Amino acid sequence: MLTITQALVDQIVAHARKDHPDEACGVVAGPAGSDRPERFIPMLNAAMSPTFYEFDSGDLLKLYREMDDRDEEPVVIYHSHTATEAYPSRTDISYANEPGAHYVLVSTADTDGLGEFQFRSFRIVDGEVAEEEVKVVEAY
């Protein structure tokens, strides 16, 4: 289960809406070993595409060095889908290389009639996708 604050959910959704119609992407870092997302880090979608996201390799290297210096790890890796449901694509699955991370997808398309966005979380390990419950809290 992903436990995340309402403030972080709001920041992720706002980033997805701001970058629409391109996919948004980013990371929420947390203390190493804690499984607690704390620090919101929006990233630039280097692909600048409505159907694909890619972290800039230089930005990603800088981020991992910074997280290492702060004894953090990527707890959440998020991106948006702009025209499809919030479910990992084959490409998303092939790029998922953090087995301990929660992969959050936000869809800015109303694909299910339930509202203007979907917010879902998945574990992706060795190409296997498992959706998990999302518990939104006011604070940890």
Helix (H, G, I), strand (E, B) or coil at 119: strand
Cα–Cα distance, 29 to 42 (Å, whole number): 11
Question: What per-residue confidence (pLDDT) applies to 92?
Answer: 95
Helices (H) and strands (E) in the chain, counts: 3, 8
What's the pTM?
Answer: 0.94
Name residues whose C-beta falls within 8 Å of residue 90's C-beta, 6 or more positions apart in sequence: none
Region 129-138: what's the mean pLDDT? 98
CB neighbours of residue 91 within 10 Å: 12
Question: What per-residue confidence (pLDDT) applies to 114?
Answer: 55
Question: What per-residue confidence (pLDDT) applies to 33?
Answer: 96
Name residues whose C-beta falls within 8 Å of residue 11's C-beta, 6 or more positions apart in sequence: 40, 42
Residue 82 corresponds to which amino acid?
T
What are the angstrom distances between the C-alpha of 138 and each of 5, 120, 122, 135? 5, 18, 21, 10
Question: Model confidence at 13, in pLDDT bands (50, 70, 90)?
Answer: very high
Query: What is the per-residue pLDDT across 104-124, written as a single tens digit (0 to 9) for each?
Result: 999 987 655 556 678 999 999
Question: What per-residue confidence (pLDDT) applies to 117?
Answer: 77
